[in-house]
Every structure is written in structure tokens, then in C-alpha cells.
Amino acid sequence: MKILKLDTQIEVYSDVQELPEADQILLKAAKASLLNAYAPYSKFKVGAALRLSNDKVIIGSNQENAAFPLTLCAERVAIFAAASQFPDTPIQSIAITAKSGSQVLHQPVTPCGSCRQVIHESEFRFEQPIRVILHGETGEVYVLHSIKDILPLTFDANFL
Ligand code: THU
């Protein structure tokens, strides 16, 4: 038996102003996007904005349904919209943020497991890592150089 140790690297910025300008702009788009969330059930509004390699910015917000499992997360709304409109264009970066109905989010919001898997599919499809920018409402910003940093031992088409 041996132990397999996994290495995760996350850049931690003390606040939004410390980020490179392109990341600040994308995060701003994500924050504007969460205003379009339809979240009457959870009151948890999520905004995602992604920059494509053609420099276009595509936004998404969570869209809930009274039949709860039909809800779609902000990240997947944005990624699928981008893939539908620009099927041959890789995603360069994605910014994700949220606003809770019950607390102020002082820590970065991290994507759910399903969205991590969908972000990974896009990295795999275009053979290109995606920069992931995570923020709550205040405080630190996390930047990942690939979703693999928070989705180790990924499942992808190599197994099929
Ligand atoms: N949600 C997202 O939009 N993205 C995530 O990565 C996690 C969760 C949404 C789904 C639901 O509308 C609400 O947040 C509460 O789970």
C-alpha cells in the first residue's frame, strides 16, 4: 500500500481590487448577472460570467423551478449558452459569485460538483485549462488555473 497525495494550488487575493483588471471586469459581469437569477425558492442568487478566447463575455444566472430538480445552476446556464452560440470557441476564464437571502457571504463561493464536472468537460473538449475566479460578496477572491484544482481524479472520455 502507498499513499497518493494530491496537490491543490489556489491563488488567494485579499480583495477584488488586488485582482488583474481582466478578472475584475469578469467578476463585475458575474455580479451584474446574478441580478437576473430566478431563485424564488432558495433566495440564493448565483451569477457566472465567462470570457471566450474570442474575447466575448457570456453571462448566466441560476434558474429555479417549482419542480426543484429542474433548476439549472448559473455556471451551466452560461457554459451551455456559450457552447450553443460559439461551439468552436474555448472558454478562457469563468467568474462565479453569489448573494444569499440569509447571510452576507464573506468567503468565496465554490461551484457545485455538477458544475465542476461540466467545466471540466469544456477543458477536456478544447484541451485548454479554464481560469476560475471565485468571490462571495466581500473579502478574499480565489483564482484557480484549472477546475482540476478542485476536481481531482476527474472522470472524462478517456475512460469510455
Ligand atoms: N447554484 C448555482 O447556481 N451554482 C452552484 O454552483 C451551486 C448552486 C444554485 C442552484 C440553486 O438555484 C441555488 O443555487 C441553491 O442551491
Domains in the chain: boundaries: 11-154
- Residue 100 is predicted with a pLDDT of 98
For the chain, list residues with pLDDT below 70: none
- Residue 150 is predicted with a pLDDT of 98
Query: Number of C-alpha atoms within 13 angstroms, CB side, residue 58?
Result: 22
- Residue 3 is predicted with a pLDDT of 97
Distance 2 CA to ligand 1 centre (A): 37
- Residue 50 is predicted with a pLDDT of 98
| 62 touches ligand 1 (CB under 6 Å) | yes
Q: Whose CA is nearest to atom 9 of ligand 1?
A: 73
Q: Whose CA is nearest to atom 3 of ligand 1?
A: 73
As a whole number of angstroms, the distance between CA 48 and CA 125 comes to 20
| 64 touches ligand 1 (CB under 6 Å) | yes
Could you say which architecture CATH assigns to the domain 11-154?
3-Layer(aba) Sandwich (3.40)
Distance 24 CA to ligand 1 centre (A): 22
As a whole number of angstroms, the distance between CA 90 and CA 18 comes to 26
Distance 61 CA to ligand 1 centre (A): 9
Q: Which residue has the cell 451551466?
A: 76
Question: What is the SS3 string spanning the chain?
Answer: CCCCCCCCCCEEECCHHHCCHHHHHHHHHHHHHHHHCECCCCCCEEEEEEEECCCCEEEEECECCCCHHHCECHHHHHHHHHHHHCCCCCEEEEEEEEECCCCCCCCCCCCCHHHHHHHHHHHHHHCCCCEEEECCCCCCEEEECCHHHHCCCCCCHHHC
As a whole number of angstroms, the distance between CA 50 and CA 93 comes to 6
